[in-house]
A and B are shown apart, each in its own frame.
Chain A
Amino acid sequence: MKLTGSKILLESLLLEGVETIFGYPGGTVINIYDDLMDSSIKHILTRHEQAAVHAADGYARATGKVGVALATSGPGATNTITGIATAYMDSIPMVVITGQVPTGLIGNDAFQEADLIGITRPITKHNYLVKDVKDLARIIKQAFYIARTGRPGPVVIDLPKDVQMAITEFEYPEKVELRGYKPTFGGNVRMIEKAVKMMLAAKKPVLYVGGGATLTDAHAELMALAETLQMPVTTTLMGMASFPKRHPLSLGMLGMHGTYYANMAVTNSDVLIALGARFDDRVTGKISTFAPHAKIIHVDVDPTSIKKNVRVDLPIVGDLRDVLKKMNKKLAEHKDEVVQENEAIKPWLKEIAAWRKDHPMSYKHSKTEIKPQFVIEKLRELSNDDAIVTTEVGQHQMWTAQFFDFTQPRTFLSSGGLGTMGYGLPAALGAQAAFPERQVIDVSGDGSFQMNSQELATLVQYRLPVKIVILNNNFLGMVRQWQQLFFDKRYSQTCMELPIDFTKLAEAYGATGLRATKPEEVEAVIKKAFETPGPVIMEFKVSREENVMPMVPAGAGLNEMVLAS
């Protein structure tokens, strides 16, 4: 069958199981958009290319499938950059297709030309400029394979207009042949046995769980390991929803705004088992005082993550879920030792319980002001267990991480690595497109929300009933907090001065706007929002100078937490 490049693209997407894509048309993708009218692929038109990529990212995080975004050349393509970098930092499987000027014009400073391959090289797992339509099917096959295997990540396909129009025989390859790409899946059996022995002998073990647990859907295996050995579990922001916070072994999040008891447990541990985590500086604090007494076991699919920031005593390269399965299987052969271990770590669990009792995660309640933490707690109370929560970046993100008890995997979508303000709304859009029936909530601040607020239009147009929480303090709160604590309260450019009426903004787009200004109104507003069909903005006028606490100041060790400001 002879097809044009643009038809080959759409046929290949269908063969990869793609149902929904997010994009924005333009001159160099007009052929693709023309063919899209006759395709069964659903296209969601965002109001900005950055949002299209974040939406594809949210879709991927919520479903585990590869997200797909489409944009035109030049400015369309450069608008995708923040979205691609966000996905790259958090290892999200994604394919971004961009139009490019015709091959004959590449390098000529043509209209809407940008060297997207050059620009995206450091923020993609791999990228392709398609110069010949004969290579297109193979490249798409490879792109999807690379995006979802090993350590997942975004792949860019830059597709010149003349290649979209050129005709060739279409045959979708069955196999991928990449001699330079052989991700490790299995995990070395002998290393796994050694790790099991170390865990059995540990007196003060801690499981430190990262985004790898989410990406490999390893929550059941993780639960089995933690419960068998009665090991306490702390997660990173990215690992958040892979272990239920209400579980007695859960220590919540560790790191800069983690719990006191998680950070104390890590600091005093004798064996630290890092599972699909990469020892980010927001997690470790000062490296020299990070887990100083611990032997470190590090399981990661990406060898470059191992020994990058910290010393590792036992590295295991492999798919986390597979490694955990093998560990659990091995443990089943050591029933007696497991019983002994359970007994031996009881004092450790008591020690942790004492830290938890001394300094639980808490905040000062108020009868007159709405505390942002209170809104998050109420939100949890009134939302469904399988609600998907996205966040932007800043104080509201940390409060969500601290006070929303996630119980199910893939229900917390947040930009951890890059820390992208403006991520949450389009990510919620993507997640809602994947799960039209589930509750999807974007928790936002007034600063972050305004970075992609144009996507309200997309929500209304496609009837995506995302519920948006704006914790409005009229500040860029996280930066203001740093200025308060470390810059003598000199609030340089962090006060947003102009108060926005977000309820009116919602109405302008045809969505619903609700507002609470007193604590007693919070519950009613949330209930009303969940009862209202379609997208809703809930604006909460929160106490303006509330801080995210506890906190490890930048450059300090995890054991030097500041508990209150």
Chain B
Amino acid sequence: MRHTISILVENEFGVLTRIAGLFSGRGFNIESLSVAPTLDPTLSRMTIVTSGDDRIIEQVNKQLNKLIDTIKVIDFTGEDFIEREMALIKVTAEETTRAEILRICDIFRGKIVDVTPKCYTVEVTGSPVKVNAILDLLRPMGIKELVRSGPVVLGRGPKGWKGN
């Protein structure tokens, strides 16, 4: 089963390698990983999407907590949370397809951020499911290049992690 986990870590040299090394060393999957500093510049927040049965996920959570540089781990599975991912999609834009690309882009509340005579670059934000959906629609026009950020998540409601 797919799990989205947020990790609050010390914003220090080598922490990303510690986390990545833990996953590879113990044979856990990483589907995506995104990381950036928080409001408190001494901390970073990571979002990792992983998968595995209950036993594996329990180990993932415990092993992450065990790292000295890890301050907090939240597994959002089963919680109410907002999940967003950004994608930049370079798509072939012929005379006949430009209008259709714009319409699709509109439906997904995307933006065209770069235009050349031969192609458009679309920026779209949403849940991974939504990003997949726009990719399905754009694929027939010819996707030349794609980059996805991997999802970031935040719990719904007023509750938050102190200090970040």
Contact = CB atoms under 8 A, between A and B. Distances in A.
Contact of A125 (B62, B68, B70): B68
Interface string A116-133: 011001100110010100
B117 interface: no
B10 interface: yes
B17 A179 contact: no
A194 interface: no
Contact of B18 (A121, A181, A302, A308): A121
B29 interface: no
B68 A308 contact: no
Contacts of B25: 122
Contact of B58 (A117, A131, A146, A307): A307
A68 to B, nearest CB: 19
Given A121-B21, A122-B21, A129-B13, A181 B58 contact: no
A118 B17 contact: yes
B55 A180 contact: no
A304 interface: yes
B71 interface: yes
Contacts of A125: 68
A37 interface: no
Contacts, number: 37
B79 to A, nearest CB: 21
Nearest to A123: B25
Contacts of A307: 55, 58-59
A304 B66 contact: yes
Contact of A180 (B21, B58, B68): B68
Interface in B1-39: 9-10, 13-14, 17-18, 21, 25
Contacts of B50: none
Contacts of B67: 180
Contacts of B9: 180
A1 interface: no
A564 interface: no
Contacts of B51: none
Interface in A112-168: 117-118, 121-122, 125-126, 129, 131, 146
A153 to B, nearest CB: 10
A129 B12 CA distance: 11
Interface in A292-341: 302-304, 307-308
A121 B68 contact: no
A117 B14 contact: yes
Contacts of A121: 14, 17-18, 21
Interface string A175-214: 0001111000000000000000000000000000000000
A121 B68 CA distance: 12
B59 A308 contact: yes
Contacts of A131: 13
Given A121-B18, A304-B66, 18 more contacts: A117-B14, A121-B14, A122-B21, A126-B68, A146-B68, A178-B68, A179-B10, A180-B10, A180-B67, A180-B69, A180-B70, A180-B71, A181-B68, A303-B65, A304-B59, A307-B55, A307-B59, A308-B59
21 contacts: A117-B14, A122-B21, A122-B25, A125-B68, A126-B68, A131-B13, A146-B68, A179-B10, A180-B9, A180-B10, A180-B67, A180-B68, A180-B69, A180-B71, A303-B66, A304-B59, A304-B62, A304-B63, A304-B66, A307-B55, A307-B58
